[in-house]
Amino acid sequence: MVVLSVPAEVTVILLDIEGTTTPIAFVKDILFPYIKENVKEYLQTHWEEEECQQDISLLRKQAEEDSHLDGAVPIPAASGNGADDLQRMIQAVVDNVCWQMSLDRKTTALKQLQGHMWRAAFKAGSMKAEFFEDVVPAVRKWREAGMKVYIYSSGSVEAQKLLFGHSTEGDILELVDGHFDTKIGHKVESESYRKIASSIGCSTNNILFLTDVTREASAAEEADVHVAVVVRPGNAGLTDDEKTYFSLITSFSELYLPSST
């Protein structure tokens, strides 16, 4: 087995979700189709609720910022003129959400709505989050060795908590010391990692970030964060240069903590 030694200065392990702790297939084949199939009905049922109105305001603001993009879908402001107008607005939000999802966009607006929609499915027990089998044993071991474990995903903090709270391994939320999402900044921007370190109260070089996306790994590395790229079944392939440049692991069990036995 390949072993990757964790530098002695590392005290925090920061984990991506999709493609790192959790199969991309679970996200693409279960989580995302749930949104596409249910978004219209969800909006019709929850339209009057404050949380839903906040989600729509955020989506509308994002749609304005996106107006210069090819194929962008605008969301008109409410005119308050009857049922037809409401149905037109709902359809515009549905089309906007589907357009964003067709590009796998990671906007805070889209991720916030998705998190709110998944809540019902997770709480009803009709959806359970999948984790690779090495994840839970490794995280337990790291914590026993004194490491802090944080999550940084484009999925909203609320969605992250749903996944960890309702997994095929049971409720594993207690294994996580804290969560970050795109509210702190995007994962391909170095500044996000500096803000995460500052929020945890450590230096960036005390963090080891595990992700499947090399652009995220590069951004973290630019901020002086240690990184390893996680290679999992179903993940996007890496170029030869990326394979040479980055430390690669295929399982969390390949990480060796000098402080553990």
Ligand X SMILES: CSCCC(=O)C(=O)COP(=O)(O)O
Is 171 annotated in some ligand binding site?
A: no
Alpha-carbon span 56 to 228, nearest angstrom: 37
Residue 108: CB minimum distance to ligand X, A: 11
Binding-site residue total for ligand X (CB under 6 A)? 16
Residue 19: CB minimum distance to ligand X, A: 6
Alpha-carbon span 90 to 153, nearest angstrom: 28
Per 3-state DSSP, what percentage of the chain is helix, strand, and coil (rounded to 5)?
50, 15, 35
Q: Which residues pair with 229 in a beta bridge?
A: 211, 248
Q: Which residues pair with 211 in a beta bridge?
A: 229
Alpha-carbon span 222 to 5, nearest angstrom: 20
> Rule CB under 6 A: is residue 31 a binding residue for ligand X?
yes
Structure tokens given for 159: 């969605």
154 binds, among Mg ion, ligand X, none (CB under 5 to 8 A by kind): ligand X
Residue 216: CB minimum distance to Mg ion, A: 7
Which residue's CB is nearer to ligand X, number 27 or number 52?
A: 27
Of 18, 55, 66, 189, the one binding ligand X by CB under 6 A: 18
Question: What pairing do the DSSP bridges indicate for beta strands 178-180 and 148-152?
Answer: parallel
Question: What pairing do the DSSP bridges indicate for beta strands 248-249 and 207-211?
Answer: unpaired
Alpha-carbon span 254 to 251, nearest angstrom: 6
Is 212 annotated in some ligand binding site?
A: yes
Mark the segment that binds ligand X (CB under 6 A) among 60-68, 153-161, 169-177, 202-210.
Answer: 153-161
Chain-centroid distance of CA 92 in Å reads 25
Q: Which of residues 156-185 bind ligand X (CB under 6 A)?
A: 159-160, 163
Q: Which residues bind Mg ion (CB under 5 A)?
A: 16, 18-19, 212
> How many Cβ atoms are within 10 Å of 48's Cβ, its own excluded?
7
> Rule CB under 6 A: is residue 219 a binding residue for ligand X?
no
Chain-centroid distance of CA 138 in Å reads 20
> Rule CB under 6 A: is residue 153 a binding residue for ligand X?
yes
Is 18 annotated in some ligand binding site?
A: yes
> Rule CB under 6 A: is residue 154 a binding residue for ligand X?
yes
> Rule CB under 6 A: is residue 230 a binding residue for ligand X?
no
Of 61, 106, 128, 186, the one binding ligand X by CB under 6 A: 106
Residue 198: CB minimum distance to ligand X, A: 20
Scan for tokens 């889209």, then name that residue.
110
Residue nearest to ligand X (CB): 155
Task: Give the footprint of ligand X on this chain (CB under 6 A).
Answer: 16-19, 27, 31, 106, 111, 114, 153-155, 159-160, 163, 187
